[in-house]
């Protein structure tokens, strides 16, 4: 239930600017539709859908609309793994090869092309903390920067469209490929959280979808979140579009013929669909120290640990990230925790915010952040790829923080 924004220290006229801003994008044909949810002090004060879920069929955006959240899956998978951490099943500094023996002697790229790579031994093994912080040396095939990511593309690493392909298949392929750098020495956005999903399966003995359904989605009441779209969700499922050079939108995933049907590859790094209402429950649990409505997923100190900057020496992403690499966030002023970016300096980030706020986004331009200092949650849903098409997340930060009045 929505409360009057002023009850939680937000200005109604200033929040109205958000809708006016997104409507300009929609009227210009740059976005099909948007949904913005803002909660403060445990209450939803703003939830507005604009435009359409699908331009072609003109279905209006509703609060229960279902969206592809891509990399906003990563914080959920990270929480799932940290729930096993709290059971004493592993330590953050455990080498990944404790659970994936084929990873014991991974090398670091020196030269060559697949399959003839020259490598040097890594300074130390990849740890579980490296996976959670993207300091593992892994990469993504779509980076198109190195001979290593070219091998990922050639071998279709993490391709959910491959029939019968599983997380176990992916980690077996990765065992045969070099790392981009020695673990812990740089930061690089990667398939690391897909490996996190595999670790969940190995440690828990459950498939990733079953584990998350039982231990995260069920307890939090996230009824519309999963790895495949159900028939009853199709009327609420948004179309996905790709930005074109002329500014127009190209339909790339039709809800009625979507690729988001049951598949064997369960991407912990980017495979979920969800709603703003479901994702609000997940973020509210984190803001509340790991508990929501009497259901505790994590201990308060574990959430605190996850939302600290874990980059070596307290560096931010601008100091540690490989140059020219894609990610879901700007680099300056931001560190990285166990599954989230973490604000270190709003001044260096050049946008309003608070130190300690944590966030992430998805490839279809979805975004969220949680600001514990302001007791604030902001969730944004749309479906436009790539997420670098427009600075939507940064614009929403300015508009949202401008609405705070106490």
Q: What is the pLDDT of residue 368?
A: 98
pLDDT given for residue 4 in this prediction? 98
How distant is the alpha carbon of residue 341 from its chain centre?
Answer: 10
Nearest by Cα to 403 from 50, 10, 6: 10
Is residue 201 over pLDDT 70? yes
The fourth-level CATH superfamily of domain 64-243+250-288 is DD-peptidase/beta-lactamase superfamily (3.40.710.10)
Can you list the alpha helix ranges (DSSP code H) found in 213-362? 218-220, 276-287, 300-306, 317-320, 346-349
> For residue 94, is pLDDT > 80?
yes
Residue 327: pLDDT band with limits 50, 70, 90: confident
What average pLDDT score do residues 113-132 get?
97
Q: Please say if the pLDDT value at position 63 is more than 90.
A: yes
Over range 242-265, report the average pLDDT.
94
Give residue 325's pLDDT: 66
What is the pLDDT, as a whole number, of residue 113?
95
Q: What is the DSSP string of 125-160?
A: --BHHHHHHT-SS---GGG-SSHHHHHHHHTTTT-T
Q: Each residue of 329-381: pLDDT tens digit?
A: 778 999 999 999 999 999 999 999 999 999 999 999 999 999 999 999 999 99
More confident residue, 249 or 326: 249
Q: Would you kindly state where each structural domain of the chain is located, as residue ranges?
A: 1-63+390-406, 64-243+250-288
What is the spatial distance between Cα 68 and Cα 175, in angstroms, rounded to a whole number? 29
- Read off the pLDDT band of 247 (50, 70, 90): confident
Output the CA–CA distances (angstroms, integers) from residue 257 to 196, 261, 270, 324, in the order listed: 29, 9, 19, 35
| 325 against 280, higher pLDDT | 280
Overall average pLDDT of the 269-276 stretch: 98
Tell whether omega for the bond before 386 is within 30 degrees of 0, i.e. cis: yes
At a CB cut-off of 8 Å and minimum separation 6, what does 176 contact?
Answer: none
Percent of the chain surpassing pLDDT 70:
100
| Average predicted confidence (pLDDT) for the chain | 96
Q: What is the pLDDT of residues 157-182, one digit of tens each?
A: 999 999 999 999 999 999 999 999 99
Query: DSSP letter string over 279-298?
Result: HHHHHHHHHTTSEETTEESS
pTM value is 0.97
The whole-number pLDDT of residue 328 equals 75
* Helix axes of 167-174 and 192-204: crossing angle, nearest 10 degrees: 120
* Span 206-226, average pLDDT: 98
- pLDDT of residue 146 exceeding 90, the answer is yes
pLDDT on residue 330: 74
Q: Strand 67-68 to strand 59-60: parallel, antiparallel, or no bridges (unpaired)? A: unpaired
Helices then strands, each counted (H, E), the chain: 13, 17
pLDDT of residue 274: 98
């Amino acid at each position: 239930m929505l409360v009057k924004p002023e009850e939680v220290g937000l200005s109604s006229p200033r929040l109205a600017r958000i809708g006016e801003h997104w409507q300009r994008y929609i009227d210009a044909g740059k976005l099909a539709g948007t949904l913005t949810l803002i909660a403060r002090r445990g209450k939803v004060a703003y939830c507005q859908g604009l435009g359409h879920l699908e331009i072609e069929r003109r279905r209006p955006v509703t609060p229960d609309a279902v969206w592809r959240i891509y990399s906003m899956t990563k914080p959920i998978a990270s929480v799932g793994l940290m729930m096993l951490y709290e059971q004493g099943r592993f330590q953050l500094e455990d080498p990944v090869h404790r659970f994936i023996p084929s990873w014991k002697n991974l090398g670091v790229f020196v030269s060559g092309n697949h399959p003839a790579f020259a490598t040097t031994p890594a300074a130390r093994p990849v740890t579980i903390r490296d996976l959670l912080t993207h300091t593992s040396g892994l990469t993504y095939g779509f980076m198109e920067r190195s001979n290593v990511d070219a091998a990922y593309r050639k071998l279709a690493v993490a391709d959910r469209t491959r029939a019968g392909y599983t997380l176990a298949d992916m980690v077996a392929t990765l065992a045969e490929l070099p790392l981009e750098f020695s673990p812990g020495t740089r930061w690089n956005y990667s398939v690391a959280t897909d490996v996190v999903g595999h670790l969940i399966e190995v440690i828990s003995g459950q498939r990733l979808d079953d584990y998350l359904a039982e231990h995260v989605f069920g307890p939090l009441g996230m009824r519309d979140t999963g790895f495949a779209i159900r028939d009853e969700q199709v009327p609420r499922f948004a179309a996905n579009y790709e930005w074109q050079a002329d500014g127009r939108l190209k339909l790339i995933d039709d809800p009625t013929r979507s690729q988001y049907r049951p598949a064997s590859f369960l991407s912990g790094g980017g495979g979920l669909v969800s709603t703003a209402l479901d994702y609000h429950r997940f973020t509210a649990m984190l803001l509340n120290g790991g508990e929501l409505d009497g259901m505790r997923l994590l201990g308060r100190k574990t959430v605190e640990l996850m939302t600290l900057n874990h980059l070596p020496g307290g560096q931010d992403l601008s100091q540690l990230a490989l140059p020219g690499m894609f990610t879901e966030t700007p680099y300056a002023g931001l560190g990285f925790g166990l599954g989230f970016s973490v604000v270190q300096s709003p001044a260096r980030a050049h946008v309003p915010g608070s130190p300690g706020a944590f966030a992430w986004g998805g490839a279809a331009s979805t975004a969220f952040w949680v600001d514990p200092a302001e007791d604030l949650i902001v969730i944004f849903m749309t479906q436009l790829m790539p997420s670098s098409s427009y600075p939507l997340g940064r614009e929403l930060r300015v508009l949202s923080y401008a609405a705070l009045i106490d």
